[in-house]
Structure 1
């Protein structure tokens, strides 16, 4: 798999990439990526070009003598990658091949310049992952020359050696690059594997259609499908195509990843269906500053003291009925929750008695960030919470009397719970060993954008 580094890095970076998906991602891989690939990929690419050269049959003597020819090293310079509109990527490189010719009585060291050119086509594979292939490959050879100053090699033999090496390399270099493409295609298969979101939920990414390729970037439509207990999460309404504007994101970033509103809606629906957003808060009777007991509540609602004259711990069970609403506006992401909070008292024999239930409205700010390959979130309460009585077994009461108590005992556990949950993150589309580097997240109307460099760890 080490050979998949280098040139393969370029194509591995195509995976979190631009288009329209429902729900999904739109990402642009910009020209800055190509420069990074050529920098980090030169050494691995040199290793790929170090092919085996068969014996050369020296016919200059009376008896044909097989002579071993070995590539000592390959030094690649002027390594360039460029986008080709509606096709893929053009590779060009200049290299010096150094050979050792092991002949008797004296070995000789030779060098030969080679210019490589290859067109790498990027399409959609049968398993809905990127598929790369070589459509055209050429090698141009310069004259061979002696490095070690030996004068025992005849010009005629050098001509024969040149022809032998050119014949071998003309086929083998393109085969080596082509085999590298196959390794990369296997690597691409890691895109479609299920990635965990929670204990019982997963996410899977696939390509929606063939890539869109211009002279400035290459793009893919990546679709996200979330699963709960093996069943897909389907939005109540049909998702709409997501298109990313040309001039969003940082200009100097390697990649620009757009996250659709539908993706956020699908992820939140998953959390709701999994019960991950539900919360239970239990009061401890003898703890310091504990407000969750019948004695404190009875000061606000006398009927509670009448029914429970002795202090008893309370339990708050918050359960989401309505689906949470995520709103994405300019530089502002919010999450609106409408839980039903049931206030219960722990009676004898481990039974619970319901005192009353409240409809709660709470709006949270949502701060997005990226760590390696995961999108994470953190929340804070915006403004005040809204309360209305849903049911009561302690008679009628004014919600304003219990507002401060409910807010004090509910907000912090809610934030701790949500931040722990959102801090786990959800995997962004990627292949093995690919990470987002120095990401910047901006929120726009109806979508979010991640501008990031990329790091591929071999």
Structure 2
């Protein structure tokens, strides 16, 4: 094999490895141009305040025999009226600011031959143009990062007005003064932009929760699997999107599929929750032993018209009366395997399998196994967003029964159909829906509120859209 063939083969192998080891996200956050524009407005407001507090150094010098000194320079206003933000591929975001203007005042002192004078001055800076490039990335913990990778400021017009009748004196050195003030401002502006990005924006983006604790058993991993991706129309953030058991985290036995995000731009932000995201929830809760539910007599509502004991079931299973007469019963429901759902344009659906083990409670409080049923049925889900959390509710169709094991002889399970339907719809579903109504937190930065919610189903993922509002402190 020639050297060229070796190089080609190695390149092909490297490409295959790169493709096979690429990590698809389980959860995607997309900020559209509308969302970026809103973020720009909030950022510009913060930047205006930061630049208005900018400190300029005193300076002095000599021009055409005029010795001058300027001190106590103080910015009185810094306005950024026109700005634009655009995504830049492989970098992040570019913010352009035009027609900005600054006003500042201070004290002056001059000496010209035997003339000495001093006073105050006012300076107006107009037609300020700024270009700021923000580099987006991620750190070792999976949190997003933001930094200033490039900044330039240009000032085209500076006007100084002195107090008093010193126009002839000002004309002797105004070009030097205006030039020095322009250079000082241009340099200081970018220094303060970098500080503002570090002190404000970086701290804000770092509030994205890498992990979210759901309860004492389950958490969600929202760490970034890659740096944010800028496209011509949006900014995408790929997250792991994986539920896990707090007690013991183990690898998920399947990988997330690619998400074919639609080109929707009706909302400021979109969340793509893949079927992988929801199915890892089932695995985590199953491993944590949280998908176990017990039904006892105390839980049966009086309006049900039956008592959960062997006498109530003896009409369907005669052997019960002989073996365990008039003894209370209980059911223990559990999932032999983690539930696995599918998402399509029609919504979320799955067919969980539930084992229902019936026991007789003996006089000494020990349990005698009676029979083991397998329950399955079509379950559908309704999903929404409330207070920054994914909430939902389940509904189940007719339950199908089969007998897996029996210590009281064989019997026709269909005779228990109405009882199991009642227990499922009146006890199990309300319990599950109460938990789903508490919801699971979306990956949101601090002080972000969502409104105008949109919910759509696509192949292999759920799409949530929303407009955002930033809630200032205080």
With normalisation by structure 2, the TM-score equals: 0.83
What are the within-5 Å matches in structure 2 for residues 193-342 of structure 1? Answer: 193-237=210-254, 239-247=255-263, 250-284=264-298, 288-290=302-304, 291=306, 292-310=308-326, 312-342=327-357
- Describe the SS at the equivalent of 1:169: helix
| 1:53 corresponding residue in structure 2 | 56
Unpaired stretches in structure 2, ≥5 consecutive residues: 1-21, 110-117
If asked which structure has higher relative contact order (CA below 8 Å, sep 6+), I would say 1
What are the within-5 Å matches in structure 2 for residues 362-377 of structure 1? Answer: 362-377=377-392
Alpha-carbon displacement from aligned partner over 1:224-275 (angstroms, at most 9, x marks no partner): 34331353342223x154132443xx42212232222222221111111112
Alpha-carbon displacement from aligned partner over 1:271-290 (angstroms, at most 9, x marks no partner): 11112221111113997235
The correspondence for 2:124, drawn from 90, 108, 111, is 111
Cα distance in 2 for partners of 1:45, 1:224 equals 33
Are the equivalent residues in 2 in contact too, given 1:21–1:242 (CA < 8 A)? Answer: no
Cα distance in 2 for partners of 1:178, 1:412 equals 59
Cα distance in 2 for partners of 1:89, 1:287 equals 59
1:321 deviation in Å?
0.5
CA RMSD of aligned residues (A): 2.8
Greater alpha carbon shift after TM alignment, 396-405 vs 183-192: 183-192
Are the equivalent residues in 1 in contact too, given 2:245–2:285 (CA < 8 A)? Answer: no
- Describe the SS at the equivalent of 1:390: strand
Are the equivalent residues in 2 in contact too, given 1:225–1:233 (CA < 8 A)? Answer: no
What are the within-5 Å matches in structure 2 for residues 154-173 of structure 1? Answer: 154-156=170-172, 158-173=174-189
Larger of the two Rg values belongs to structure: 2
Alpha-carbon displacement from aligned partner over 1:163-190 (angstroms, at most 9, x marks no partner): 3322222221111111223233344334
Alignment pair present for 1:99 and 2:104: yes
- Shift in CA distance, 360/73, structure 1 to aligned 2, threshold 3 Å: same
- Shift in CA distance, 73/120, structure 1 to aligned 2, threshold 3 Å: same
Unpaired stretches in structure 1, ≥5 consecutive residues: 1-19
Are the equivalent residues in 1 in contact too, given 2:137–2:145 (CA < 8 A)? Answer: yes
- Shift in CA distance, 396/246, structure 1 to aligned 2, threshold 3 Å: closer
Greater alpha carbon shift after TM alignment, 57-66 vs 274-283: 57-66
The correspondence for 2:430, drawn from 406, 412, 416, is 416
| 2:7 corresponding residue in structure 1 | none
Are the equivalent residues in 2 in contact too, given 1:53–1:165 (CA < 8 A)? Answer: no
1:70 deviation in Å?
0.4
Alignment pair present for 1:85 and 2:89: yes
- Shift in CA distance, 417/156, structure 1 to aligned 2, threshold 3 Å: farther
1:203 deviation in Å?
1.9
| 2:19 corresponding residue in structure 1 | none
Number of aligned positions between the proteins: 434
| 1:13 corresponding residue in structure 2 | none
Cα distance in 2 for partners of 1:157, 1:82 equals 41
1:360 deviation in Å?
0.6
- Describe the SS at the equivalent of 1:242: coil
Greater alpha carbon shift after TM alignment, 130-139 vs 439-448: 130-139
| 1:393 corresponding residue in structure 2 | 407
Cα distance in 2 for partners of 1:148, 1:214 equals 50
Cα distance in 1 for partners of 2:231, 2:55 equals 37
Cα distance in 2 for partners of 1:46, 1:287 equals 63
- Shift in CA distance, 341/150, structure 1 to aligned 2, threshold 3 Å: farther
Cα distance in 2 for partners of 1:23, 1:64 equals 62
Are the equivalent residues in 2 in contact too, given 1:76–1:95 (CA < 8 A)? Answer: yes
With normalisation by structure 1, the TM-score equals: 0.85
Greater alpha carbon shift after TM alignment, 195-204 vs 226-235: 226-235
- Shift in CA distance, 22/377, structure 1 to aligned 2, threshold 3 Å: farther
Are the equivalent residues in 2 in contact too, given 1:21–1:241 (CA < 8 A)? Answer: no
The correspondence for 2:196, drawn from 180, 186, 210, is 180
Greater alpha carbon shift after TM alignment, 175-184 vs 150-159: 150-159
Are the equivalent residues in 1 in contact too, given 2:349–2:380 (CA < 8 A)? Answer: yes
- Shift in CA distance, 450/147, structure 1 to aligned 2, threshold 3 Å: farther
- Describe the SS at the equivalent of 1:404: helix
Runs (4+) of structure 1 exceeding 6 A deviation are: 60-63, 147-150
Are the equivalent residues in 2 in contact too, given 1:38–1:81 (CA < 8 A)? Answer: yes
Alignment pair present for 1:145 and 2:149: no
